[in-house]
Amino acid sequence: MDRATRETTTPELDRLVGRNLRKLREELDLSQTDIAEGMAAAGFPAWRKATVADVERGARKVTLDELAGLADVTEHKLERFLVPDADLSADAARRAKVLTGKVKPQTPDGRGDVSVERDKEKLESFLTGELGLDVDELSKLCREMYGHPDVWLERERRVTAQGFPESYERERHEFRARRGHATRAMLAEMRDRIQTKPTKPRGTK
């Protein structure tokens, strides 16, 4: 998957991430160099002090895997970087809510609203059953393929990447179809990845 498909959705959200990163960094008494070194150690070797500065002023796109990396480095939840403020438009605030799991999604088969945690469990149960994996193995595969371990977040990112319909009623129906398509696409991609991964000879660790 190319970088563009992992972006947080809009330049406005990137600016929000930057503002919240700066606030959190200052609260934690960390320097931009501290963040850059932490990101490099977390698997983002291209990050430098200048990268952090660009992110904080909203001049650089932030990918979903980078956002997950920032959460790991600062030991704060992903939603900390998407806390809305007075400068955020209503549309961007809705996108932020979806990314942080504050909007109740449809189930994978579109049969009504459920809690986010239950929806995650249903999606994980579906994928693990189809792929013959346990939840930890599914999370590991998700990280290998998409740069983060959350299959639900990956599906919702794909759903919202196409934009938001004008009306709530249209959004409900369109998102239902998008979620089904995204779930099937992820299942196919993961199957392909599993089938192409080399298998270890019996008796090896």
The per-residue pLDDT for 132 is: 95
- Over residues 13-26, mean pLDDT: 91
Confirm if 191 and 131 have CB atoms less than 8 A apart: yes
Shared domain for 87 and 15, answered yes or no, is yes
Domain co-membership, 128 together with 163: yes
Domain boundary (49, 67, 96) is at 96
Beta carbons of 178 and 156 less than 8 angstroms apart: no
pLDDT for residue 26: 93
Can you give the pLDDT at residue 169?
Answer: 56
Q: Considering the chain, what is the average pLDDT of its residues? A: 79
| Span 130-138, average pLDDT | 95
Same domain, 91 and 129: no
In this structure, the answer to whether residues 72 and 148 fall within a common structural domain is no
* Residue range(s) defining the domain that contains residue 40: 3-96
Domain containing residue 37: CATH number: 1.10.260.40
Asked whether residue 110 is assigned to any structural domain, the reply reads no
Is 108 a domain residue?
Answer: no
Asked whether residue 175 is assigned to any structural domain, the reply reads yes
Question: Do residues 9 and 99 lie in contact, with contact meaning Cβ atoms separated by under 8 Å?
Answer: yes
User: 85 pLDDT band (50/70/90 cuts)?
Assistant: confident
What distance in Å separates the CA atoms of residue 77 and residue 75, rounded to the nearest whole number?
7
- The encoded tokens of residue 62 equal 């932030």
Shared domain for 78 and 143, answered yes or no, is no
Run of H or E residues at 69: helix 64-74
Report the share of the chain in percent with pLDDT over 70: 71
* 49 pLDDT more than 90: yes
Within-domain flag for 9: yes
Task: Average the pLDDT over 168-189 and give the result.
Answer: 81
User: What pLDDT was estimated at residue 72?
Assistant: 84
Q: Is residue 104 part of a domain?
A: no
Is 14 domain-assigned? yes
Residues 17 and 88 grouped into a single domain = yes
Number of domains the chain is built from: 2
Residues 130 and 45 occupy one common structural domain: no
pLDDT of 197 over the 70 cut: yes
Q: Which two tokens stand for residue 32?
A: 């931009």
Residues 14 and 50 in one domain: yes
Do 10 and 91 lie in one domain? The reply is: yes
Is the residue at 106 inside a domain? no
Query: In this structure, are 120 and 189 located in the same domain?
Result: yes
Residues 16 and 57 in one domain: yes
Phi/psi at 190 (nearest 5 deg)? Answer: -70, -40
